[in-house]
Structure 1
Amino acid sequence: MASSSGTLASASSNRYAIIVAGGSGTRMGADRPKQFLELAGEPVLLHTLRRFADPVLSVVAIVLVLPADQFETWAQLCATYHIQLPHTVVAGGASRWASVRNGLAELASYPTGVVAVHDGVRPLTPVTVIENTYAAAATHGAAIAAVPPKDSVRGLSQQGSYALDRSRLRLVQTPQCFEINLLRRAYQLPELATFTDDASVVEDMHPIHLVAGDYCNLKITTPDDLLLAEALLRQQSAL
């Protein structure tokens, strides 16, 4: 199938993943970056890495993007927790946009396929969500996981606030998956302040297809998130 991004990847195309973990732990009030905090006795980042290393997904290359000054810490954690899941570590940049671009550069030897970009502190993403997002991107060129908001939502104006139709809104998650050459072309453009995620980098070039995410796919940002993740992980282990 052809599109403005060229020939889309087929359903059997190679799959890659860029896991971006650049957090400092400031909002956690922790003594270490949040991706290195323990979740059920293991680093948060290990849980995330394990999701993409699941054989069901057939991901052929995983790139982990970390600040350069965290390389040694990650190497020590890999030794302590006997982490042997195949992955390559590259240095991040001054922004998330720059970090993803660095991760994408590490995949330069792969000419075609679908690449997922994922937050390193989303450790509970169901494998089914990852699979469905990869598959949708193979068909549509660009696909992201998202969920409907549960709460009422209001916009702000100079006069106060106004109600928004939440049925027309979605909360964006990761993974966000793209035909790899489409994402490469998007990242050749200059960085803009409006780039909040990879979909916002790509959307001027190609439509973004939405895939059903999962409310368990939380991004660990605050201490409450970590407590909730612990509870959800225990519940998943009991099933």
Structure 2
Amino acid sequence: MAASVSVSTAASSRVAILVAGGSGTRMGADRPKQFLELAGEPVLLHTLRRFAEPSLQVSKIVLVLPTEQFATWQVLCEQYAITIPHQVVAGGATRWASVRNGLASLPNREKGVVAVHDGVRPLTPIAVIEATYQAAYNHGAAVAAVVPKDSVRGLNQQGSYALNRSRLRLVQTPQCFGLELLRRAYQLPELTTFTDDASVVEDLHPIHLVEGDYRNIKITTPEDLLLAEALLRH
């Protein structure tokens, strides 16, 4: 397994936790979706490479995987000569538990801002990652999001009703937070209403939204993989 990089204790330190716990069920694939090939390389390698971009100055990358996938990732690291420094941490039964495990792997002395990112979002523009980190420095909690392209309706007992999409956002990752804030949030009990890290944090701190990117897709279905291939080609 690739070794961990040294961690800066400066207040401006940047850390990334990449959560990759998919099974590939919805893909109908023979392997977890993070290990599927995208343009000849594993999806997860594309994601890892984004956060290893030198301009971002991320001091440590934590990759959270199910324990049973460690050996597969080790083989892929050798097969594709992956030398990007990162630490592999065992995931939990839920995404919440996996992020908590990723946080627990960081030294208590670690300060700065942490980005939590879906391992199967391999096309996130570097500019979006940078803007989300910067917004978290300024606001404490920042999330990449985009305006819905389609009309949106809510449901009620009578049927449905129109929603003003200009007041709605589709949430993406990265989601960036002051490290101490995210640690405090994850000390609280897990709730069924937690769908992402912003929902874990929002009772403690307001969430600032950053303009995301429609290319920042999450690969969950075969159609997503085809779209990602097309986006990479162009």
TM exceeding 0.5 = yes
How far the C-alpha of 1:112 sits from its partner, in A, is: 1.3
For 2:3, the equivalent position in structure 1 comes to none
- Which whole-Å CA distance do the structure 2 matches of 1:65 and 1:200 have between them? 20
Q: CA deviation at 1:138?
A: 0.4
Tell me the TM-score normalised to structure 1 length: 0.93
Distance of 1:154 and 1:182 partners within structure 2: 34
Give the equivalent residue in structure 1 for 2:230. Answer: 231
User: Which residue of 1 is the match for residue 133 of structure 2?
Assistant: 134
**For 2:84, what is the secondary structure of its paired residue?**
coil
Equivalence for 1:7: none
Point out 4+ residue stretches in structure 1 off by more than 3 angstroms.
none
Gaps of 5+ in 1: 1-10
In 1, distance between residues paired with 2:65 and 2:15? 17
Aligned to 2:82: 83
- 1:46 match: 45
Letter in 1 for 2:55: V
Q: Give SS of 1:139's match.
A: helix
Contact 2:65 2:90 in 1 (8 A): yes
For 1:26, the equivalent position in structure 2 comes to 25
- CA distance, structure 1, for counterparts of residue 78 and residue 153 of structure 2: 48
1-side partners of 2:165 and 2:205: how far apart?
24
- Equivalent position of 2:35 in the other structure: 36
- Overall identity of the aligned pairs, in %: 79
CA contact (8 A) 2:11 2:111 kept: no
1:191 aligns with 2:175: no
RMSD between aligned residues? 1.0
Q: Please tell me whether residue 172 in structure 1 is matched to residue 171 in structure 2.
A: yes
Q: TM-score, normalised by structure 2?
A: 0.95
Structure 1 residue 12, shift from structure 2 partner:
6.7
Whole-Å Cα distance in 2 between the matches of residues 233 and 214 of structure 1? Answer: 14
- The one-character-per-residue Cα deviations of 1:8-39 (angstroms, maximum 9, x if unpaired) are xxx97000000000000000000000000000
C-alpha separation between the residues in 2 aligned to 1:103 and 1:110?
15
1:97 aligns with 2:96: yes
Conserved 8 A contact 2:27-2:33: yes
**Residue identity in the other structure for 1:224:** E
| 1:85-127 Cα deviation digits (max 9, x unpaired) | 0000000000000000000011134431000000000000000
1:4 alignment counterpart: none
1:161: which partner in 2?
160
- Alignment of 1:220 with 2:216, yes or no, is no
Counterpart for residue 181 of structure 1: 180
Larger mean CA deviation between 105-114 and 70-79 belongs to 105-114
The whole-number CA distance in structure 1 between the counterparts of 2:166 and 2:11 is: 34
Q: Which residue of 1 aligns with 2:7?
A: none
CA 1:62/1:103 → structure 2, altered by over 3 Å: closer, same or farther? same
Measure, in 2, the Cα distance between the counterparts of 1:22 and 1:93. Answer: 9
Aligned residues: 225
Q: Deviations over 1:150-190 (max 9, x none)?
A: 00000011110000000000000000000000000000000
Q: Which amino acid aligns with 1:48?
A: T
Aligned to 1:5: none
Q: Which amino acid aligns with 1:198?
A: D
Query: Counterpart amino acid of 1:192?
Result: L
Residue type at the aligned position of 2:93:
A
Aligned partner of 2:4 in structure 1 is none
